[in-house]
Structure 1
Amino acid sequence: MQFSIYGFTLITGLPANVLAFYTFLQKIRQRSTPIDVLLLSLTISDLIFLFFLPFRMVEAANMKWTLPYFLCPLSGFIFYSTIYNSTFHLTAISVERYLGVAFPIKYKLKCNPRNAVIASVIFWVISMVHCSIVYIMQYHDHSNPNFTDPSKRNTCYEEFSTEQLKILLPVRLELFAVLFVTPFLICCFCYIKFIHILSNLPNINAKKRYRAIGMALGTLLVFIICFMPYNISHVVGYVGNYSPDWRVYALLTSTFNACLDPFIFYFSSSALRGTFKNVFQELSRRLHMPCCRSPLYCPLLNCSSTEEKTQSTTDSSL
């Protein structure tokens, strides 16, 4: 199951995020806004996550860690850092959206892409500093005679000694409070107010209103479906003074975030909607081109009859 979910996330998330990265990069080069900067930073975070996802797929396929062991803490560090980095960026986007509709004049006067760049850097630093606990745990307790050398293990970030849990469990509780609950509450406040304001605006286009509400609800669902199960395991582990075995399965929902983010971007960025539309139109055009070029496909799609009608019309006009 783990391999299938990782594979689905990689297959769907990689092309969508590549398109999003290209779109936001081009938009920033032309005329950047704080939202564009945050979306680009979040897309980069998702792409880094997807780049390291194959390491997890190899582990899931072999049911144990068979890669060089230095990749274990590295992949775990990137894995968890990008997940929590996403919560910060999604929250910042919700704040931007709320300020844009609640205080439109002040927002336009004071919004500056540079502030979004600074915020993105801060988000990256905070998430990476917190998730450095992965490195600490993997190489902690060397003085213990019962400590197994990391390079001789066949598991990755799953087995912990009592001494390690004394450090790890409080840190996980802090991750739950600081990197999940706080951003989630801010996001809820901003999007509830955002939806309330949009619902009371009489002159806004209905299509734009529904699209904006869909983006807000989609973001809240990502928090609930993707981030909440894994973060609840932190609380359960702290209360029970152990590391729950089901954390592995709770973490699977967090991987979906990488393929769901571009669809949230779709609601919040007209540029990305245009890119997706152009790509789908081009794919549709290319799928029909072989038929009209090769007579072998004509009996299947009636291309021959279409060409004959076109030829007869041309002849009659001549």
Structure 2
Amino acid sequence: MEWSKSLSNLVLSVYGITFIIGVPANILAFYTFIRKVRLRATPIDVLLLSLTTSDLVFLFFLPFRMVEAANMRWDMPYFLCPLSGFIFYSTIYNSTLLLTAISVERYLGVAFPIQYKLKRRPLYAAIASAVFAVVSMAQCSIVYIMQYYDHKNPTAIAPSGRNTCYEVFSTEQLEILIPVRLELFLVMFLIPFLICCFCYISFVRILSRLPNISPKKRFRAIGLALGTLLIFIICFMPYNISHVEGFVNWKSADWRVYALLTSTFNACLDPLVFYFSSSALREMCNHFIKKLLRRPVFASCRKAMYCSAVEESTQSSNDSSR
């Protein structure tokens, strides 16, 4: 990939929007789930807390990518390159596993309500979250391997002398990297995506057959299913499809950089899953909005709008009386 001014502006715009929206949304979610877990933890709360923590770690390292895009080269200390890349990709794939676990938890809760209620434990969700983190980091350790692989070759550029980060690969590196990318597509995307599709389709179908389910609960169920599947399709699918094309053509796809941009939106869209999954977060959001609207600026705006409406109503009454 060769940097250009237009590409730099595009990357900065996408990363900037993701950072500005994602940070406050995930901080609010993190605060809510921390309170909920301390009061009365449930498996879904633990999974959602793990997901928002993963998103916050991702957002913390996103500025390194923004600096690279702004400079159109890697000018920072080189050890930050594999570290930021490792965190970047690990948190993305960790999110796919956590979203899949949330879909399984929702499905089991409606398909086997009695059996699952007797066996559900927050500890199991915590163990699953830890396993997902370890698996995603193990899978993405290829980032460290590729950044330092074969650098002792006299024809290769030493890591400390490079001005690119995880972009230019030798033939020997691609021999290892391309099959690993295909494995990431199969294990870390395709299988979780199929599981999510099955769980949420079954989840919505079961709820639609229950006679005593309120329209609001059905709406939230549909929103949760659509929100999660949209995250997989919009955020994760393009980048993972580039792995398949790379395997077929045995080279890195030229459009990988654009596909990777959509993956960053995951940190913005995950709060949709939080909102539809957690009543505690919905209550916190409503409380936050009401508190915001009570501020003097918004209060004066509401008063001005009310006075304007009264004045218009009075004027129209006077006109009709004439």
Same fold (TM over 0.5): yes
1:25 aligned to which of 28, 34, 37:
34
Distance 1:69 1:281 in 2: 47
1:144 aligned to which of 143, 153, 167:
153
Distance 1:289 1:136 in 2: 54
1:88 aligned to which of 80, 91, 97:
97
Report the alpha carbon displacement of residue 153 of structure 1 after superposing the two structures with TM: 1.1
| Aligned AA (1:181) | L
Report the alpha carbon displacement of residue 58 of structure 1 after superposing the two structures with TM: 0.7
Name the counterpart of 1:161.
170
1:8 aligned to which of 17, 33, 44:
17
Greater shift in the superposed pair: 80-89 or 272-281: 272-281
Moved over 6 A (4+): 297-303
Distance 1:194 1:301 in 2: 44
Report the alpha carbon displacement of residue 249 of structure 1 after superposing the two structures with TM: 0.6
Query: Which stretches in structure 2 are left out of the alignment for 5+ residues?
Result: 1-9, 311-322
Name the counterpart of 2:202.
193
1:73 aligns with 2:87: no
Distance 2:171 2:213 in 1: 58
> 1:213-292 maps to which residues of 2 (within 5 A)?
213-288=222-297, 291=300
Distance 2:234 2:247 in 1: 21
State whether residues 47 and 129 of structure 2, in contact with CA within 8 Å, keep that contact through their aligned partners in structure 1: yes
Distance 1:289 1:235 in 2: 51
Report the alpha carbon displacement of residue 287 of structure 1 after superposing the two structures with TM: 4.4
Identity of matched residues, %: 71
1:131 aligns with 2:140: yes
Name the counterpart of 1:208.
217
Distance 2:302 2:55 in 1: 43
Name the counterpart of 1:180.
189
Report the alpha carbon displacement of residue 263 of structure 1 after superposing the two structures with TM: 1.5
Name the counterpart of 1:121.
130
| TM-aligned CA distance change 1:287 to 1:61, over 3 Å | farther
Distance 1:154 1:289 in 2: 49
| Aligned AA (1:247) | R
Distance 2:88 2:297 in 1: 40
Task: Output the TM-score relative to the length of structure 2.
Answer: 0.90
Question: What CA RMSD, in Å, does the superposition of the two structures yield over aligned residues?
Answer: 1.7
1:97 aligns with 2:75: no
Report the alpha carbon displacement of residue 199 of structure 1 after superposing the two structures with TM: 1.0
Task: Output the TM-score relative to the length of structure 1.
Answer: 0.91
Distance 2:291 2:304 in 1: 22
Report the alpha carbon displacement of residue 217 of structure 1 after superposing the two structures with TM: 1.1
Query: Which stretches in structure 1 are left out of the alignment for 5+ residues?
Result: 292-296, 307-318
Corresponding pairs, count: 299
